[in-house]
Amino acid sequence: MSLTTTNLDGILPLLARGKVRDIYEVDDKTLLFVATDRISAYDVIMANGIPAKGKILTKLSEFWFDFLSEVPNHLLLAPGSEDLFKHLPAQLSEPKYREQLEGRALLVKKMKLIPLEVIVRGYITGSAWKEYKKSKTVHGLPIDADLQESQEFPTAIFTPSTKAEQGEHDENISPEQAAEIVGKELCDKVAAIAIELYTKAKEFAKTRGIIIADTKFEFGLDENDNVVLVDEVLTPDSSRFWNASTYELGKSQDSYDKQFLRDWLTANKLNGVDGVKMADDIAIRSKEKYVEAYEALTGSKWTE
């Protein structure tokens, strides 16, 4: 069974439903992030979900928050903590609510969100490769190196995008355009932090047989205007993970993400169609990819 939506019956106010997470307000300083099993492709959310996907994303984010703890993050209590329910209304300990929250819910500090998708690319692939082939630029940045598809950049680069509303498309922008949105000082600071985090994670992942080709971070500001890491971190939903043992320069790579789903939608001419129900085998194979990524990166066996 997959959980595609949560229903807390108004016990906590629902602030938003994103592509994956339902966000509730606990109090004026605290939010509850609940990762569902929803999955989207081509900017459309499927009618059914990937079993346990939300739990896998939550545990993997928890792992990375700990690994990258030199940068402050918004996490207050992780899903494995029994203390979580002590910070929530007593009714949410009832079985029908507990089963929606256990393993999926993060108690986090409210932050003032920085309105950028902070993307760091270590390898050229996806939309970056398409742009590079046309203009020798990536997000408007001139790239001097003569690169092949899936090649590593000489150094990781900051390639932001706008943070679109639900149902809208994020738009790739240059660092200069990002600086116009949030101010040059904050933009430079966020870019430096993101590249530092990506580089540390990339080097670690290599020891686990995983290449992190690129990733998307999100940041907020606390009450003292310190930059804080928020949302999910280095999951298959926010990153391209490649198997290092099958990496081959000059071609696209298989990745630990929703590629099975994208390929199935394309083959069935369902790209961008609302209300599509995934075939069961596609959901199962997709889950297997998420589990593979989790186990490779954390070194822990996945258990539900």
**Residues 62-107: tens digit of each pLDDT:** 999 999 999 999 999 876 666 899 999 999 999 999 999 999 999 9
- Domains present along the chain, CATH in parentheses: 14-109 (3.30.200.20), 112-243 (3.30.470.20)
CB count, 10 Å around CB of 74? 22
Full-model pTM: 0.94
Return the C-alpha torsion angle 246, 244, 21, 120, nearest 10.
-120
Query: What pLDDT shows up at residue 183?
Result: 98
Quick one: what percent of the chain has pLDDT higher than 90? Answer: 88
DSSP category for residue 256:
S
Quick one: what percent of the chain has pLDDT higher than 70? Answer: 97
pLDDT band at 167; cut points 50, 70, 90: low
SS3 state at 158: strand
CA 249 – CA 147 distance, rounded (Å):
10
Mean pLDDT rounded to a whole number for the chain: 94
Q: Tell me if 47 sits within 8 A of 57, measured CB to CB.
A: no
Q: Where are the alpha helices (DSSP H) in the chain?
A: 53-67, 83-86, 95-101, 126-135, 175-182, 184-207, 259-267, 280-298
Q: Tell me if 107 sits within 8 A of 87, measured CB to CB.
A: yes
Query: What pLDDT shows up at residue 106?
Result: 95
Count Cβ neighbours within 10 Å for each residue of 287-304 and write b for 16 or more, e otherwise: bebbbbbbebbbeeebee
The residue whose two tokens read 């690129």 is 214
pLDDT band at 272; cut points 50, 70, 90: confident
**Residues 172-221: tens digit of each pLDDT:** 999 999 999 999 999 999 999 999 999 999 999 999 999 999 999 999 99
pLDDT band at 303; cut points 50, 70, 90: very high
